[in-house]
A and B are shown apart, each in its own frame.
Chain A
Amino acid sequence: MHHHHTTTGLDNRKVAIWAFIGSECMLFASLISTYLIYKGRSLVGPFPHEEWVNEAGRHFHAILDIPVTSASTFVLLMSSLTMVLALQAVQLRGTPLPADAGWWTRAQRSSQTWLLGTAMLGVTFLGFQAYEFTMFVHEGLTIRTNLFGSSFFTLTGFHGAHVTVGVLWLVTLLFIDRKRGLQGPADELSVDIAALYWHFVDVVWIAIFTLIYLIQ
């Protein structure tokens, strides 16, 4: 595998992923801004943090489920840990393992374990999101119900789509790792780029969790 020498000394693919992440920052900032602009302007419920009674006398609770979302947030944070350990495992491949290496040192070398763990945590997060969306629809909130529903489903739906892409990316890397093993600078870079994308999805959720779920 040959290296792509550039005037900066940096690989073009890594420059590209950072430029892509920069553009994604602006995309999510626009979606979050839209949500915040519409915040508190819905004419009918259900509302995120307030109870509501409709004309027929039906009572609606505040719709956001903080304990469930806190759990999914924790899952996504831990997926960033497993992702960075997967990258480290690929980077350590080829370096000799000390004879007295403990379980943690050995575990750090297992890229397949960490990639699989990250993908599973990603799927778990998507499961939480599917549960949340289903509950919202069951409670009477859809993307067409009010301004909150429109901006909320658009924002979190876009984020969920990004997580889905990330999971597919990780599964592809896992498949390659199982087939021929991820090793060498080119494979390190491939995992590094996937990791950058995954961590970006995580930091977007850090912002969403605070701005949409916790701030009332």
Chain B
Amino acid sequence: MAHETNQGAAKAAHVHPTGATYLKVAVILTLITIAEVWAYYIPVLVASPLFNPSLIIMSAVKFAIVVAFYMHLKYDHKLFRALFSGPLLVAFVTAMAFMFLFYKMKFWL
């Protein structure tokens, strides 16, 4: 059993994307950042109720892409996913609780 776990960990540690994939990820991150900054300078978009949620979604996508591909969490052992996702979830829920307490979620809308 332990031997199987070792093999699984070793296999997971060696399955990584190629350099070309890393470059594609960088291009995607750059394009999303350009879209975010572009939106900031369009008054109609800024005034829209969808402005803040769309920025947060774009930011979350960038966050997830970096974590999945550059930090290899998509390919790595599930224990690492748990070690990262658990505290991140606690952090997110705590932050949301504060937003409800102090803003009644006006921040989102």
* Chain A residue nearest to B39 in the complex (CB): A214
Q: Is the CB of A78 within 8 A of B26?
A: yes
Total B residues in contact with A, Cβ cutoff 8 Å: 51
**Chain B contact surface mostly:** helix
Chain B residues within an 8 Å CB radius of A88: 16, 19, 22
Is there a chain B Cβ closer than 8 Å to A37's Cβ?
A: yes
Alpha-carbon distance between A209 and B37 when the two chains are bound, in angstroms: 10
Alpha-carbon distance between A25 and B73 when the two chains are bound, in angstroms: 15
| Interface contact tally, CB-CB below 8 A | 138
Chain B residues within an 8 Å CB radius of A74: 30, 33
* Chain B residue nearest to A24 in the complex (CB): B87
Q: Is the CB of B88 within 8 A of A22?
A: yes
Alpha-carbon distance between A114 and B104 when the two chains are bound, in angstroms: 46
Binary interface encoding of chain A residues 158-185 relative to chain B, with 1 for a CB under 8 A from any of its CBs, else 0: 0000000000000000000000000000
Footprint of A on B, CB under 8 Å?
Answer: 2, 5-10, 16, 19, 22-23, 25-26, 29-30, 33, 36-37, 39-40, 46, 52, 55-56, 58-59, 62-63, 66-67, 69-71, 77, 79-80, 83-84, 86-88, 90-92, 94-95, 98-99, 102-103, 107
Footprint of B on A, CB under 8 Å?
Answer: 5, 7-10, 14-15, 18-19, 21-23, 25-26, 28-30, 32-33, 36-37, 39, 66, 70, 73-74, 77-78, 80-81, 83-85, 88, 91, 104, 108, 195-196, 199-200, 202-203, 206-207, 209-211, 214-216
